[in-house]
Amino acid sequence: MNLYLNQIAAIVWKDFVTELKTRELLSAMFIFALLVILIFIFSINLSIVKASEVGPGILWVAFLFAGTIGLNRSFMLEKENDCLMGLMLVPADRTAIYFGKLISNLIFLSIMELFILPLFMIFFDIDLLSHLGPLLVVVFLGTLGFCVLGTLLSSLSSNLKTREIMLPILLYPLLIPIIIAAVRMTGQILDGTELSDMMKWVGLTASFDIIYIGVSIMTIDHILEE
Amino acid sequence: MESLENAIEVRHLRKAFGTLKAVDGIDFELKQGEFLTVFGPNGAGKTTLIKILSGLTQPSSGTAKVAGFDVTEGQPEMRKKIGVISHSTALYADLTPLENLMFFARMHGLEHPEDKSLKVIEEVGLSPRRNNRVRTFSRGMLQRLSIARAILHDPAILFLDEPFTGLDLHATNVLKEHLQRLHDRRRTILMTTHDISCGLEMCDKVALQVQGKFAFLKNISDVDKDRFESTYFDAVRDNQFSTGIGI
């Protein structure tokens, strides 16, 4: 068990050291998410529509699109110089490789989201600070589901020539339940609803997160096989 | 290092990609400390053979045991006993040699990963560049670092897929010295190469793989090195797979 956790930690450490040196992943995700929000800001009239009604959808579209860039880049790193082959040759359980990549993706996406949320608050003139706790729970649940499934499918699509196209095509339909729940919950939180009043959505998102983790554990061995 | 009487045992091994037979009924065994060089033209199935033996690809049929483990079972215990050098370096370009090796040392569960990594870096002569990004390395340096990655955990069996490709004379000599040292330390080595002189110089056994089959497999003492090149070309041209090749 100790070795298993050490292997997961080693993958996270390796991804962090690489990102610290290149600063490619976080900057690309952040700029993309910011651009998405800016485009929407200029295309909707906030004096007509309520920010708390359109804002959550826009926020999650930004997270989703920027996160997809991150997922693509994450496994591209392993394909360069065939590093994935090097990983397959170490005496590690394939799930350790999966969880290492999942945790890296989750941390990188969460960092990007923490930078985007204040900008979203400013651009949409929404007070997020008074709902920060529940909002962070919802953002975490949605991001976890996105990363769980995204990491699995990016490892699958990394072997394809058309991986940049295939990843969103495979990922977005399966993410629909999580994204619907995340958008609904975000909207309700911005309207002042307590988290305890939306346990149905929380349960749905958490259930999908758990189901997708189970599916990933069961299939990653076959997906990483050549 | 524990004793592995038959380090590698291959029986009727086949691998097909659709109608293409990349490995077509190969049989051989290597004892601990033996060095087998496999020659063969491009597309002969040498890389596929190494991929199967290292557990990266599943065979279509037949059996292969490496360090006593069935390669199809993909056991981590088997991966502890093998090191692989392939066409690609499997090194992270934005990390330094030290960071790369420390990462692989941790993945192998080695104690004192930094000390072990520094020792192997010194062994392959890369100490002065240990803190430079791998991206800035020449082909020869990358190959040396690949060796360091492959021997970091002191494996009993090494698979080398065309390790001399793209190396200059100096780098070739450095690599040969490393391989000789590993051979002296009774590591079992299976190497594929197009470099006939290098391949014949170091090995105990020679095989020629053509269209997925071993055209022959002989002890080096039974091979006429001066005639090998012409025989190699004849074998490739005529696809003479049986015993009729006059070596």
Enter the ipTM: 0.89
pLDDT for the residue B243: 41
Cβ–Cβ below 8 Å for B103 and A10: yes
Are the C-beta atoms of residues A146 and A64 closer than 8 Å to each other?
Answer: yes
CA A13/CA A76 separation, integer angstroms = 17
N- to C-terminal Cα distance for chain A?
26
pLDDT for the residue B102: 97
| Percent of chain B with pLDDT strictly greater than 90 | 54
In one letter, which amino acid is A107? Answer: I
CA A133/CA A136 separation, integer angstroms = 5
Which of the four pLDDT bands, split at 50, 70 and 90, describes residue A226?
Answer: low
Of A151-160, B95-104, B169-178, B230-239, where does the model show the most confidence? B95-104
Are the C-beta atoms of residues A149 and A105 closer than 8 Å to each other?
Answer: no
What is the mean pLDDT of the segment spanning B121-134?
90
A16 → chain B, closest CA residue = B95
CA B144/CA B101 separation, integer angstroms = 12
DSSP state letter for B60: S
pLDDT for the residue A51: 82
CA B147/CA B149 separation, integer angstroms = 5
Which of the four pLDDT bands, split at 50, 70 and 90, describes residue B244?
Answer: very low
Cβ–Cβ below 8 Å for A83 and B109: no
Instruction: For residue B108, list chain A residues with Cβ-Cβ distance below 8 A.
Output: 90-91
Total tally of structural domains belonging to chain A: 1
Are the C-beta atoms of residues A214 and A148 closer than 8 Å to each other?
Answer: no
Cβ–Cβ below 8 Å for A14 and B94: no
pLDDT for the residue B246: 41
Are the C-beta atoms of residues B66 and B81 closer than 8 Å to each other?
Answer: yes
**Residues in contact with B103: Cβ distance below 8 Å, sequence separation at least 6, in sequence order:** A10, A13, A14, B92, B95
pLDDT tens digits, one per residue of B22-67? 999 999 999 999 999 999 888 889 999 999 999 999 999 999 999 9
pLDDT for the residue A218: 95
pLDDT for the residue B245: 43
> Given CA atoms B96, B127, B183, B69 in this order, what sign does their dihedral have?
negative
Instruction: For residue A81, list chain B residues with Cβ-Cβ distance below 8 A.
Output: 88-93
Are the C-beta atoms of residues A186 and A118 closer than 8 Å to each other?
Answer: no
CA B150/CA B84 separation, integer angstroms = 6
pLDDT for the residue A88: 92
Which residue in B56, B93, B106 is closest to A85 by CB distance? Answer: B56
Is the per-residue pLDDT at A81 higher than 70? yes
pLDDT for the residue B247: 44
N- to C-terminal Cα distance for chain B?
36
pLDDT for the residue B121: 93
Which residue in A17, A85, A90 is closest to B107 by CB distance? Answer: A90
Average pLDDT across chain A, whole number: 92
Which of the four pLDDT bands, split at 50, 70 and 90, describes residue B97?
Answer: very high
pLDDT tens digits, one per residue of A110-140? 999 999 999 999 998 888 888 899 999 999 9
CA B137/CA B143 separation, integer angstroms = 10
DSSP state letter for A68: H
Is the per-residue pLDDT at B170 higher than 90? no
pLDDT for the residue B231: 78
Q: Bigger pLDDT: A89 or A164?
A: A89
Which residue in B76, B84, B93 is closest to A81 by CB distance? Answer: B93
Cβ–Cβ below 8 Å for A89 and B54: yes
Task: Give me the domain span that covers residue A49.
Answer: 2-223
In chain B, which among 56-115 make CB contacts under 8 A with chain A? 56-58, 76-77, 79-80, 82, 84, 86-95, 99, 103-104, 106-109
pLDDT tens digits, one per residue of B2-11? 555 689 999 9
CA A86/CA A78 separation, integer angstroms = 9
| Percent of chain B with pLDDT strictly greater than 70 | 94
Are the C-beta atoms of residues B6 and B31 closer than 8 Å to each other?
Answer: yes
A31-35, A48-52, A202-206: the lowest-pLDDT one: A48-52
Phi, psi of B96 (to 5 degrees): -85, 165
Is the per-residue pLDDT at B21 higher than 80? yes
How distant is the Cα of B158 from the closest Cα of chain A, in angstroms? Answer: 12
Which residue in A17, A87, A93 is closest to B99 by CB distance? Answer: A17
Cβ–Cβ below 8 Å for A13 and B88: no
Torsion of CA B74, B78, B84, B89, to 10 degrees: 60
Alpha helices, DSSP H, located in A44-131: 51-79, 83-88, 94-124
pLDDT for the residue A161: 78
Cβ–Cβ below 8 Å for A6 and B104: no
DSSP state letter for A159: T
Is the per-residue pLDDT at B84 higher than 70? yes
Instruction: Tell me the whole-structure pTM to 2 decimals.
Output: 0.89
Cβ–Cβ below 8 Å for A85 and B90: yes
Instruction: For residue B159, list chain A residues with Cβ-Cβ distance below 8 A.
Output: none
CA B16/CA B112 separation, integer angstroms = 42
pLDDT for the residue A138: 95
**Residues in contact with A100: Cβ distance below 8 Å, sequence separation at least 6, in sequence order:** A7, A8, A9, A10, A11, A12, A15
In one letter, which amino acid is B150? Answer: A
Residue A92's Cβ-side half-sphere holds a number of Cα atoms within 13 Å equal to 34
A54: burial class by Cβ within 10 Å (0-12, 13-18, 19+)?
A: middle
pLDDT for the residue B4: 52
Instruction: For residue A10, list chain B residues with Cβ-Cβ distance below 8 A.
Output: 103, 106-107
Phi, psi of B63 (to 5 degrees): -130, 150
Structure tokens at B67: 């360090």
